[in-house]
Amino acid sequence: MESDELKLFLLGGLQIRHGRLGDLTPDLARSKKAQAILCYLALNTHTHYRRDLAGKFWGDKSEKLAQGSLRVAINLLRSAGLEPYLVITNNTLSFDLDSAYWCDAEAFDRLLARYRRGDDAGDAHLLRQAADLYRGDFLDGFTLGDTLDFDDWVVVQRQHWRELALTALDELVNRLSAAGQYAEGITYASRQLTIDPLREPTHRQLMWLLARSGQRQAALEQYEKCREWLLLQLGAEPEEETTAVYEAIKSAPHTSTRPLPWPSPFLPTETTNPPFQAPPRAPHFVGRSQTLTGLEAALRAPVAGAGSQTPPRWGIVGMGGVGKTTLAIHLAHRLRPYFPDGVLWATAVSDDPMQIAETWAAALGYDFAGQGTLAERGAALRAMLAEKKALLVVDDVTLAAPIKLLLPESGACAILLTGRREDTLRSLGATLMPLSELEPDDGRQLLTHHIGAERAAANAPAVADICDLLQNLPLAVALAGGYLNYRPHRPLTTFVAQLRQETGRLSLDHENREVRATLSISWQGLDEVQRHVFRHLGVFNGRAFTPEAAAAITEMALYPTLDRLDELVRLSLLTSLPGGGEWSRYRQHALLADFAREQLGDAGARQAADGRMAAYFLSFAAAHRQDYAALRPEWANLDAGLAAAYQRQLWAMVLDYTAVLQPAWFARGHYTFARQAFAWAAQAAMMLEDNTAVANAWLYSGIASMEQGDFDEAWQKLTQSLAQYRELKHHQGVTAVQRNLARIALDRAGYDEVQALLAESLHISQTILADDAITAELLYLQARRHHRQGQNEIAWELAQQAVEMQDQVGDRRGLVRTLRLQAFIAIARQDLEVARMVNSRALALAEELNDINELAMAYRGMVQIHWRNGDLAAARQSADFSMALLKKIGDRKSQALVQFQYLLIDKAAGAYQDALAQAALCLPVFEELGYKQNIMFVCYHVGDCLAALGNQPDACHHWQRALALAQELQLPDWIRDVTARLDG
């Protein structure tokens, strides 16, 4: 029996097929609008009023004629046998989601969602299926021509599905490359280029895949194809990185057996020009000359501190709308030449402190994403800024504590803060500069700038009245000026009367009375579309946003939205910011954002707008999940989107958000929000009765807590997750949890616990999962445990097994880590030649991966080898290399390990005071982190240095502490060694 299933193929040329009736596309060809309506309903699955659809598809006709045309289209769909798939009433029309139908776009979306959630352990087959569904652009070649609303919708959809397809193909090609499946990787990379021939990163990856698979000439020809496309379409040459790949492949010997290096991941780069993050200067800045001169001189003047220079800190304080931000922007532009390391800007009221630290670090060529807490990231940022001369501006400070962690206490930077509360700025150590309304002459000059000198001169009394009524408050005057500029023929006397009426309606003690009055008048003067856009911008709560986001939330086409946004800028109801992309970003003043949100009306309207905001940013996250540069300016909006989904109890959307963003959160160190997000995800999964998702949420919550050093919370969440996975018989989940529990136990020196956890996981991975990659990671952890306990022969064998497996499965990142461990094991075995050989391989692999952290750790291994060989100069040089790299990523923990190595070098050179100085740097870090074995090492060597300096009592004190720790950690060799020193 033939199926009654309807199949809609939208990705590529439109095809409409029915299991029993066959291909319906020709039957519907005589009415493209009938086809368009079917496609539109299939993807916009809510109920639509007939009058709205008629207006959308026949907007050039009267309502009566448009409704008649819609009836004709519906009858055509009926006659083609499609009535069972539609819900048709006298007033509404919708797609029947309970009918027997299949749509390739929906199937594509579901496959990607399953992959993101890890329902099939992230298997590449889901990506393959999704990639194979994408036959081409959404409704390729389909257009109505006379229905711009629909055609604009198609353009937006086309871009949306194209970005999703490219992202899926990126992920698939990366997985195939890592697995050594070069032929299949070449197939899918080539498919990417049929979608976007100008995608240079894909050209580079295809070149590498071809080279890796032995097709060297084809790889070189691919570069020429890339170059031809770029010249033909853009008139441009390939990027330097593309040419560098070409040169590397070209220069590699034909018979070389050494693998060619892979393209680099995101890494910090040295900045060639100092960053300037301040917003554009206000076009109508007036007055404030005395304040400007005083602040400029104060911020340029160094402040003497205790033994070092202290950054000057000034705070502009005043009521909302008084012009604090405008003044700070003007100052930033004037001071720019005096700060060679740039001007860094943050808006504290909307930017997360972790994100501020990440953005400032990236602007100066550093990457602190590996520092997972605000304390760690802030410490790295302060240390870096202490060596720079930059102007740091933090606008609209409401909370002092988190901002304090970002600001350096020493060095040549200068700090400018703005805020409404004196006590907040004072608690940050700022000298206050109170700001009040403009002088009357300046207020009138500001209004004149907006409305024109001729008009102002002809209406001088009215100009004075307006400024007096508005108390010369800059924001209120600017709003009035924008309103009047937009209405060049409006008599100013009429506006004065209107303004008196509005201010009279508000009580004298109403906060921001003047701003509210002008806002109310501006609101009344907007047309319906402008009001629609303005009120919906309230969902951003003062956060910056793109035109695309605004279009999605207002449910308007992009270009009409841009027009309305620009009109609001002209009316001073919105500020345009540099976007760095095709269009500007926009931001509302906080007072305007509050007013806008009030105009959304009842709770239902606000929730609907929040829901569209949440849906848009989920789609954005899915399309840019690996593009950290695109995600960075949107973190606050992404966080708000997820929060809105949770508050509206959109449980499936909450799970989708966490699945999509988890890799980016962890890669960029956004653990604080991730912990909150996975708490929401656990609740969402419980509401959906999805026990696997509950276990996943607890697992990731535990990992995020562990990365932030909250081991008790991590242990609790991981233990909960383990119990859930056991109940589900989810073996991969069990091993994932146990690996992370083992890491915590290793840090706590709970070696028996480590053994129990890893033994069960090894049994599962070897006998049930047969997964060599997991087995190799478990063997690596076993090797770490035995090395920590001084059982280095066993540790070496386990590490060697892990290396062989990682080589076989192509786990290069796991391999470089295991090789580093092997080098330290070989050092402990006194086999320095083997250590040098293994560490050199780790160093080369880290360079190929362009992994700064692994490169720094490999250099740390070289320090140990040179030190053991007595080559102190080489040891110090390797330590310098390692330390420089670690400063670039802000890793204080690893810096402390290198400082300990400096201690060893200085001690070996007889520079005992220098060695003690290094101990004073690294010991507090080890104590803060609870690294008992490292504390023991430091105390042991400090004791030796003190003894060499003749201070035997203090030496014995440190040896006693080292002995107690050696006994606690059950390290017999160290117990004997320290005891011998105490007895001697």
Q: Is 706 part of a structural domain of the chain?
A: no
pLDDT at 266 over 70: no
875, amino acid identity: A
At CA 873, angle to CA 846 and CA 978, rounded to 5?
90
Condensed to tens digits (0 to 9), the pLDDT of residues 154-166 reads 887 888 898 889 9
Confidence of residue 389 (pLDDT cuts 50, 70, 90): very high
Instruction: Kindly report which listed range (173-177, 598-602, 880-884, 974-978) carries the lowest average pLDDT score.
Output: 173-177
Q: How confident is the model over 668-678, as a mean pLDDT?
A: 91
Q: Is residue 337, in this structure, part of any structural domain at all?
A: yes
Q: What pLDDT score does 369 carry?
A: 84
- Out of 171-180, 459-468, 894-903, which region has the weakest mean confidence (pLDDT)? 171-180
pLDDT at 723: 95
Cα atoms found within 13 Å of the Cα of residue 423, Cβ hemisphere only? 0
- Residue 639 falls within a domain, yes or no? no
Task: Give, as one character, the DSSP assignment of residue 331.
Answer: H
Out of 144, 168, 189, a domain closes at 189
Whole-number Å distance between alpha carbons of 796 and 827: 11
Which positions ≥6 away from 433 have C-beta within 8 Å?
A: 291, 294, 295, 314, 315, 316, 317
- Tokens of residue 681, six digits: 């995800």
Highest mean pLDDT range out of 179-193, 363-377, 727-741?
A: 727-741
Question: Average pLDDT of the chain?
Answer: 87
- Over residues 755-794, the pLDDT tens digits come to 888 899 999 999 998 889 999 999 999 999 999 888 999 9
230 with 305, same domain? Answer: no
Q: Could you tell me the sign of the dihedral formed by the alpha carbons of 387, 390, 391, 393, in that order?
A: negative
Say if residue 462 is in the same domain as residue 516: yes
495, 525, 555 - which closes a domain: 525
CA distances to 160, 825, 962 from 968, in Å: 58, 22, 10
**Domain annotation covers residue 279:** no
CB 594 within 8 A of CB 537: no
Look at 6 and 177; give whichever has higher pLDDT. Answer: 6
How many independent structural domains does the chain possess?
4
Give CA–CA dist 681/578, Å, rounded: 35
Q: Are residues 202 and 56 located together in one domain of the fold?
A: no
Q: Are 658 and 690 in contact (CB under 8 A)?
A: no
Mean pLDDT score, 957-969: 94
How many other CB atoms are found less than 10 A from the CB of residue 602?
Answer: 8
Least confident of 64-78, 171-185, 728-742: 171-185
The mean per-residue pLDDT over the stretch 112-141 comes to 78
pLDDT of 575 strictly over 60: yes
Sequence-distant contacts of 513-518: CB under 8 A, at least 24 apart: 514/321, 514/469, 514/470, 514/471, 514/473, 514/476, 515/320, 515/321, 515/473, 515/475, 515/476, 515/479, 515/591, 516/595, 517/469, 517/470, 517/476, 518/470, 518/476, 518/479, 518/480, 518/483
According to DSSP, the β-strands at 15-18 and 6-9 are antiparallel
Mean pLDDT along residues 824-851:
88
Q: What is the pLDDT of residue 703?
A: 93
Evaluate whether 745 touches 782 at the Cβ level (below 8 Å): no
Could you give the CA distance from residue 592 to residue 522 in angstroms, rounded to a whole number? 11
Confidence class of residue 252 from pLDDT cuts 50, 70 and 90?
low
Residue 835 domain flag: no
CA 100 to chain centre: 40
Percent of the chain residues past pLDDT 70, beyond the cut: 94
Q: Would you tell me the crossing angle of helices 440-451 and 474-485 to the nearest 10 degrees?
A: 30
Of 668-672, 737-741, 921-925, give the lowest mean pLDDT range: 668-672
Q: Could you tell me the pTM of the whole model?
A: 0.64
Question: How far is Cα 385 from Cα 760, in angstroms, rounded to an integer?
Answer: 47
Same domain as 412, residue 304: yes
Whether 954 is in a domain gets the answer: no
pLDDT tens for 392-430 read 999 999 999 999 999 999 999 999 999 999 999 999 999
Helix, coil or strand: residue 180:
coil
Q: Which of 189-203, 302-316, 646-660 has the lowest mean pLDDT?
A: 302-316
307-347 pLDDT per residue, tens = 457 899 999 999 888 889 999 999 999 999 899 999 999 99
Do 165 and 206 lie in one domain? The reply is: no
Question: In the predicted model, what is the mean pLDDT of residues 277-297?
Answer: 88
Q: Is 949 within a domain?
A: no
| 317 plus 425 within the same structural domain | yes
pLDDT of 255 over the 50 cut: no
68 and 17 within one domain: yes
Considering the domain architecture, whether residues 185 and 209 belong to the same structural domain is answered as no
Residue 394 and residue 518 in one domain: no
Angle at CA 238, nearest 5°, toward 234 and 243? 170
Tell me which residue range forms the domain holding 237.
197-254
Contacts of 797 (CB under 8 A, 6+ apart): none
Residue 269's pLDDT is what? 43
Cβ–Cβ < 8 Å for 900, 918: yes
- Is residue 513 situated within a structural domain? yes
Q: Is the backbone of residue 299 left (phi > 0), alpha (psi -120 to 50) or beta?
A: alpha
Q: Are 59 and 129 found together in one domain?
A: yes
Average pLDDT over residues 192-217: 88
Same structural domain for residues 25 and 92?
A: yes
pLDDT at 262 over 50: no
Going from the C-alpha of 202 to that of each of 206, 649, 796, the distances in angstroms are 6, 39, 40
Phi-psi region of 661 (alpha: psi -120 to 50; beta: other; left: phi over 0): alpha
Q: What is the pLDDT of residue 214?
A: 81
Of 430, 378, 425, nearest in space to 406 by CA: 378
Are 236 and 119 in the same domain? no
Quick: pLDDT tens for 712-746.
999 999 999 999 999 999 999 999 999 999 999 98
Domain end position, chosen among 165, 189, 213: 189
The pair of structure tokens assigned to 250 is 């070209």
pLDDT for 279 equals 87
Least confident span in 43-52, 662-671, 927-936: 43-52
